[in-house]
A and B are shown apart, each in its own frame.
Chain A
Amino acid sequence: MSEPSIFFEDVNEKQGTFHRRIFLMGGVTALGIFALVGQLGLLQIVQGGKYKKLSAANQFNFRILPPPRGQILDRNGNVIAGNRPSFRVLLIRNEIEDLDQTLDQISYVLPQTEANRRRIVRDVSQSQRFVPTVVASDLSWEDFSRVNLYASEIPGVQAVMDEIRVYHYGGAFAHVVGYVSKVSEKDVKAEGENPDSLLLHPSFRIGKQGVEKAFEKQLRGVSGAQKIEVNARGNIVAEDPNGTKPPTPGEDITLTLDAEIQARALEVFEQDSGAAVMLDIHTGEILCMTSAPAFDPNLFVSGISSKAYRLLADYERLPLLDKAIGSTFAPGSTFKMNTVLALLAAGVSDTERVNCPGSYRFGNRTFYCHKKSGHGPVDMRHAIKYSCDVYFYHMCNRAGVDRIHDTAHKLGLGELFDLEISGQKKGLVPSTAYKREAFKKDPKWHPGETLSVAIGQGYTHVSALQLAVYTARIANGNRAITPHLIKKVGAVDTDFDFKPIDIPPEHLQVVRDGMYMVSNDADGTAYRNSQLNLGDIKLCGKTGTAQVHSYDNAKTRKASIWKFKDHGLFVCYAPADNPKYALAVVLEHGVGGAAFAAPKAREIMKVALLKDPAMQARIVRPVPVEDAAAASAEALPDITDVPNPDPTIPPAD
């Protein structure tokens, strides 16, 4: 080693610089650490409160607890519209990264997912970001528990149990009670500024028709909330029992309808098209309001397929239309009681007779009676009994169309009632004022037109509900009852007070006499089909056949095409001696009132009468001892088993 290996000055200078710089580096690092500690203090101590709130907001979520929808009950407490549990699998869109992958995963546990895949993909793409999509509903318990087990491992998938609307009577109440269905954008808009967040819940259904729609507010209830702890994926980690606000269930609605009568009414219509409305003539309570054919409202709850909907909508018998209130018909001969009352009001004597030769010539036109051979001399009561058209042709202009119109309105025809559900059609009973308004070219009322109106044809058309009210007012005799559908909302009873009717009771008695004869005189138009076979409980009725289409040959009232056939109508009340129930049956294109509408009316009326304890007491007379046990065993005796207490009255054939 000839050279020194260390140059001391150099080393010292290097070391000096290094020490200064190391001191600097330490200082910079310390400064950095101080800055970080300062920021830490700022975050944790100064702003700690703010971040604690944010953390709690992260951690806890409020989940809507949908309220159970109020039930709809019939007058006896039978559940017409209730709720049943439904197991569903939901997909929460904003938690899913790869929809295909998620659906693959679900289909391992739930094979039916494959078949629905396209529908799910479509629904997911259409739904809003935070609104879950239903993958499958109405799962079996086994399927549900299997999905529930794995749902926590598939992000964005939830297995839930909630309630779904169920209509226990199928189509019987389809029109009057209506149905609930998925919420549409229109429904949300209709809620106004601040729509209930419940509307976005996938299990929520909104009333679309009938009582379900009219009482949506009361039935819906108030949703509760559940405080849940969630992780970053939104999966529930824990529930906070103290943070849970239970939902307030919707109010139950009790209808005046009787489920048994209603269901029977739909049955007797079978495949026929028409409507039946039954009222309690004292209270105005609607006991039955049926439109046939009906549809199953349960189809709409989970969403009807467009194919099934088209089938319903395109069917010529119009199952979707409520024919009880939303459809009007020419009343035909059922209108004649009204004409009689108008005549009485005009001072026509009830005993004055008119000879019926089978036709009536007015001006240069011949009007035919339905009985071509004629009825001979008929007074007012017999004019009803035989439904003699000539009597009315002859008399009607003594009353005049305006008096007919006024009387009709007193009886409820052409009137809109304060019914709780919407969809009523007003119909029309013409008058001179109407003619002036509607026919600018020919504003004058011609007496010849009164002839058609008097027998319930021409411009006249009324609804089945109006016919029922009309019959009820006739049967009641002194109050202008109005129809009502709702008995109770929640626990509150609805009560009504009716105005007295502006028709003298003795006039109404004439009409009732006529109706009694229609059904109870052997030559009355509805005698054969009006026999109740319930002892001294008698039916009073009036048939009607309304022409729908003008025939080329007025003598053969037959049409081969269903749409052009006549409507058959029948209005009635019972019991004759102490009326309680009024019923109107309209059978669309049912050819004749007496032959086809009356039997249906009789069947429906019988159900009501047999249910009534007061009637039962009248029917079940003291019987011989050995039969007493058998009779008391059956609270409701079968119709065919009722003994005929009065052997003088021949049984109906």
Chain B
Amino acid sequence: MACSARRLTVFLIIAGLIVLIVPWEPVTLSAAEEIAPSPSSSEERVDVKKGLVAFVEIKTEEPVTVYILYPTQYTKYKATGSADGILEFKNITWLIYPIPALLEDQTVYFVPFVPKGGPKGGPKEGDVLFHTIYEDIYERIDRLMKGEEMLRAGMEMAVAGGTEVIRLTPLIPGLKVRLDFSGDTRFVIVKTIDLARYRKGVKSFEQLYEESDLKGSEKGINFSTTDFEDLYLIVRLIVRTRDPVRVKSVIHATKESAESGC
């Protein structure tokens, strides 16, 4: 495991990406198989054999939108350009997305691009880095059940506007969640129904801030999930800066989360 993490770090230094705001979070490895990182700004096909889970990592210095597509969606997207039904992550600078192949082989395509009206001087050919790590699902469950904590998902996105809502999902009991902010923000974490009330104007940010236990204006927060509720991070920039603030979430699985069955 240590060896694999070292190799990744060496690669990142070579790639010049170690300077990103938030330190490198290695995926814990054992008998995992790594695929060499591939610089690309076009797309990445990931094939996952039955019994494995692939952790696909995407890194870029400038924010991009990433489409994640299954084969039939990919074929349709290529033929028609239609993004209907496609999973989309916006303003991403870092993403770890798991693809479990518990029942059968899986093939997933990752297509990053800079949306129209995106930041000037956005990523060019070769700026978006893909890196895939494969782990045995059963071995991973085994390690979780023995008490090891393991990376489950991660995301970093750029927030340029005044207030942004970010969904923290899927959440199950026993996960450890870490949020970091690169700039001065005020934030509150709410359940779905309060998000709906906020969107409808029934509750203000200040009201939610008053009521919530998970809130702050620090550079980060740690908490553990206790149930299956989806949570939403509502983050408000305190001082507008020229550079967007980066919000990073890292979620680790534990024994308790493994026993939750998801």
Do the two chains bind? no
B→A interface (CB under 8 Å): none
